[in-house]
Amino acid sequence: MLKRMIGAAAAWMMLAAAQAPQPTAAPAAEVSLWRLDCGEFVINQYGAFFSDTYQYPSGPKDVVGSCYLIRHGDRYMLWDTGLTDALVGSGFSNAQQTLRLRRSLVDQLRELDIRPEQIELIGISHWHFDHTGQARHFPQARLMMGAGDLELLRSPNPPDRDSAEALAHWLTGGGQVEALTRDHDVFGDGRVVLLRMPGHTPGHHALLVRLASGPVLLTGDVYHFTEQVENRGVPPFNHDRADSLASMDRFDRIARNLGARVIIQHEPADIGKLPPFPEAAR
C-alpha cells in the first residue's frame, strides 16, 4: 500500500512538474562581430620565415593583421590589439619584413561611436608584438590571456620588450588580469569562448564566437595563412611543435563539429569572410 502511494505521489509530482509554467529564460544576448584593421606586413623571405620544414618557396608574401570587436548585449570586448599605432603614417622596415598600419583601433572605434572607455574586456591570443600593440589605450579593460604568456612577459628578460611595454599596465598590477590555464567562457553563456591552443606560444588561445548566423572561429596564430591548414605548416619562431600540431588538430575538429566559419587572422583572403568595416556580422 505504502509503495503504491509513493508511486502515485511520484507520478503526480512528475505530472505537476510537466504542467507547471516554466520560468521564462532570459532572452539570449545579441552578439555582433566586427573585423578591425590591425596592420599589413610584407614578409621578405616567406619560406625561411614561415616554415621549419622548407615547405614554401623563397620570395615575399603579404599578410594582414586583424583585430575584432565583439558586442555581447551592451558589453564590448576586443580580440587582439594589433601592431602599435606608433606605425600610423610611418611604417617600419628591416631585412625580414615591412610593417604598416593605416588606422588606429581608437580611430576605427570612433567611427562606430564607441569610446575607448566602453571596452570592458580585452582577449589577447598570444604575447607577440603584432597582437598586443594598442592595448594601452584601454586601461580600464580586464585583460584575458594565457597564463604561460603572461609569465613570459613578466620575466626579468621578456622575449619581447615591445609587448611587455604594451601590456605593462596589466603586468605590473595596474589593470585587472585573468590569467587563463584552460578554455574561458567570457560571458557565461557559451557565446564567446577563448579556446586554449598552446604551441605557437605557451599560453596561446583561439576564439569561438557563436553568432545568430552561425559560429565563427578566429585562429589567433594557430594558422597564419590558408596553405598551413593542409600542410600543417609550423613556423620556426614557435614555442612547441608537438603542441602546435595538437592545437591544429583540436581547432580543425571544433570547426568541423560546429560547422564553423574559420577566419585566419593574418590571411588577406579571409578578410572577406566578415562584412566590410564598419558593418558587423550578427
* Contacting positions for Zn ion (CB under 5 A): 130, 221
Which CB atom, from 196 or from 200, has the smaller least distance to Zn ion?
200
Which CB atom, from 81 or from 108, has the smaller least distance to Zn ion?
81
- Phi/psi at 214 (nearest 5 deg)? 130, 165
How far, in Å, CA of 274 to CA of 282, rounded?
10
- The SS3 call for residue 158 is coil
Which CB atom, from 221 or from 270, has the smaller least distance to Zn ion?
221
Least distance from Zn ion to the Cβ atom of residue 52, Å: 16
Q: Alpha carbon 181 to chain centroid distance? A: 15
Least distance from Zn ion to the Cβ atom of residue 115, Å: 27
Which CB atom, from 49 or from 138, has the smaller least distance to Zn ion?
49
Which CB atom, from 222 or from 280, has the smaller least distance to Zn ion?
222
Least distance from Zn ion to the Cβ atom of residue 39, Å: 9
> 106-115 — which CB contacts under 8 Å span 24+ positions?
106/134, 106/137, 108/36, 108/37, 108/277, 108/278, 109/36, 109/69, 111/277, 111/278, 112/34, 112/69, 112/278, 114/69, 114/76
What's the Cα-to-Cα distance from 116 to each of 67, 103, 104, 175, 207, rounded to whole Å?
A: 15, 15, 12, 15, 22
Least distance from Zn ion to the Cβ atom of residue 266, Å: 6
Least distance from Zn ion to the Cβ atom of residue 224, Å: 7
Which CB atom, from 85 or from 130, has the smaller least distance to Zn ion?
130
Least distance from Zn ion to the Cβ atom of residue 63, Å: 8
CA gyration radius, the chain: 22
Residues in the chain, how many? Answer: 282
- Per-residue DSSP letter, 204: -
